[in-house]
Chain A
Amino acid sequence: MLALRNREKIAIEALYDMYSSSLYGVISRIIIDTPTAEDVLQETFVKIWNSFASYSTEKGRLFTWMVNIARNLAIDKIRSKDFKNQNKNQELENNVTFIDEQRNTVYNPELLGIKELVETLKPEQKSILDLVYFKGYTHVEAADELGVPLGTIKTRLRMAIIQLRKHFN
């Protein structure tokens, strides 16, 4: 932590090795297009690096802070006009490599354990959790999307997380 604050190279390398795959998991679920998702991951680390001074341990865990930066950047990106236009203008030749790259996506081997994890979550708990955590919805938007009251959303969200806590402990 001190190394990070002193902006040492080894610190950012360690940070990248520890968290890049988790952060990229979130980003790549919000942004399907691989090159754009990679750009956002880069922007995320730049922002983490540059605004590290504003993080304090009292405010919570480091990962929570980082994942919020990543999610906000990813959402900004897909809502920006630039990205919408770019999506319309996908060129054919680029799509060839794009599809190739998608096939080559390296999955975390631990993902195999997710199936068992999913079984511990009820479907409605998982859908709300993933909408907010991985799709970048606000809980208000999620309520609209799923057609359930706001209060229910909050309760399900809480139940889902409690379920996760049980599972991980």
Chain B
Amino acid sequence: MEDIKAYIESGILELYVLGDITHDEKLQVEAMAAKHPAIKAELDEIERSMEQYAEHNAVEPNEQLRGRILNSLLTNLGDDSTFNKAEDFEDNVIALPASKPTNFYKYAFAACLALLIASGVALMNLYNKLQQSNTQLAVLQADKQHFANRVNFVENELGVLRDTTFRFLKLKATPKAPVGASIMIAWSKEKHKVMVDMANVKMPVNDKEHQYQLWALVGGKPVDLGVFDANPDSTDMKEMKTIAAVKTDAFAVTLEPRGGSVNPTMDQMMVLGKF
């Protein structure tokens, strides 16, 4: 009996009730309680008082929690027949976690951010396309301008051909020039115009330092009519300087330093023609 009293007073029963002992000690206390009714009674007393102490310190949990917890337990039952009663569904409705609204703003913010990024990307794409279109438009306009110029030009040329005041003259090779060299020019006295038909310039290609210069011999004096390049690719009718004289003795072409000379270098005369 003394042993039992000492055992009770050791405080181990209190620790047992508080769950604060090792597994071995726990088994020992349970064995002792099974053997001695006095220990069992003491344990029961301690448990009762602790239970009442807990009741005195109770805190009522949130009302919603009841539905939530009971539902989670009943869900575990699975196909249990008690589960499908209508009142369970009422419980279902109650269980709303309180922290939902704050999450909403989080998601809303994330959604806004995603939308902003997506719009930004879309805007960049659109901007790039706009830039491309603008470039293409500029290219097309340049092309259009080019063609308009070209049409103008060709019309001018056609005009020359149609104009009856123009007379054509073939300048023939001098001994200086290669055999077969020639240039076709057109001259209108009335309009004081001289054109060189570049498509019919059969001359050696001039180098970078030199150019061909067209002269008119008026009353025995050479008159400068401008320079041109012999380029096999060009097909224009090149309009030269205006010529005031209504009567010329002849037209001649000399090879001069680039830009032309004031007086012709007579020993470089390549072609010559008279009306």
Contacts and interface: CB of A to CB of B under 8 A. Distances in A.
Contacts of A107: 59-60
A117 B56 CA distance: 9
B164 interface: no
Interface in A41-89: 41-42, 45-46, 49-50, 58-61, 63-64, 67-68, 71-72
A9 interface: yes
B99 A35 contact: yes
A92 to B, nearest CB: 10
B50 A161 contact: yes
Interface string A5-25: 001111011001100111111
A22 B51 CA distance: 8
Contact of A46 (B14, B17, B18, B73): B73
Contact of B70 (A13, A101, A106, A161): A13
6 contacts: A12-B73, A21-B55, A22-B51, A25-B59, A107-B59, A161-B49
A134 B58 CA distance: 11
Contact of A41 (B44, B45, B61): B61
Contact of A134 (B17, B55, B57, B61): B57
Category for how many chain A residues contact B: 35 or more
B69 A16 contact: yes
Interface string B238-261: 000000000000000000000000
Interface of A: 7-10, 12-13, 16-17, 20-26, 28-29, 34-35, 38, 41-42, 45-46, 49-50, 58-61, 63-64, 67-68, 71-72, 93-94, 96-97, 101, 105-108, 110-111, 113-114, 117, 129, 132-134, 138-139, 154-155, 157-158, 161, 164-165, 168
Contacts of A139: 15, 18, 20
A12 B72 contact: no
B49 A157 contact: no
A contacts with B: majority SS = helix
Contacts of B85: 9
B contacts with A: majority SS = helix
Nearest to A108: B58
Contacts of B15: 139, 154, 157
B46 A46 contact: no
Interface residues of B, number: 52
Nearest to A117: B56
Contacts of A42: 65, 68-69, 72
B43 interface: yes
Contacts of A24: 58-61
Contacts of B59: 21, 24-25, 28, 105-108
A67 B54 contact: yes
Interface string B63-76: 00110111011101
A33 to B, nearest CB: 11
